[in-house]
Amino acid sequence: DWIIVSNPRGGEGLNLAATGIYLNAEQVAPGELFETPFYGKDCFATYAISEGYYILGVMLKEEALFSRDMMATLTIFMEIITFGILFVLTFYLVRKLVVDNVHTANHVLRKISGGDLDVEIQPYKIAEFDELATDINTTVSTLKGYIAEAAARIDKDLKLAKEIQAGALPSIFPP
């Protein structure tokens, strides 16, 4: 008859409605969670039927949700830390593997552009940069060859011009 038999707050012999709980057993099945007020506070409740008695379990909503909220806060905190660490590692790896190699290649290219053709780019551990270094070194080597050929051609032309000029000058002088 919805009379309270046992309650930690007292109230034995009172109707269940005195706690604020109204249980409609036709709408809520045993073991199903439902929301209800309990002494003026929002609660979650469930019930079971045993030997003709309705046994109600009631828990304050704020207590039930505290664990959920604490776990959500902890999860967010851990995600922020994890993504922060991943960002730092990614930044470091990109800087170490890409940016530093680009700066090194640019430094060597500035020297080459300045006329220092004796400088060479050292091989890299990364295939793309190693290929770039090989191509730059090959280009510089080819350029050195062209410069050497041009210098030889200029020397040959100067020698020929010298011979032509020397041939045009009189070689026999009167006494």
**What does the pLDDT look like over 61-88, one tens digit per residue?**
998 889 889 999 999 999 999 999 999 9
Distance from C-alpha of 44 to C-alpha of 62, rounded to nearest angstrom: 10
- H helix or E strand, kind and range, residue 77: helix 61-94
Q: Which residue has the tokens 């828990």?
A: 59
Rounded to the nearest integer, the mean pLDDT of the chain is: 87
Distance from C-alpha of 167 to C-alpha of 171, rounded to nearest angstrom: 8
pLDDT at 125: 76
Distance from C-alpha of 45 to C-alpha of 39, rounded to nearest angstrom: 13
pLDDT at 80: 97
Burial class (CB in 10 A: 0-12, 13-18, 19+), 13: exposed
Residues of the chain with pLDDT under 50: none
pLDDT at 175: 67
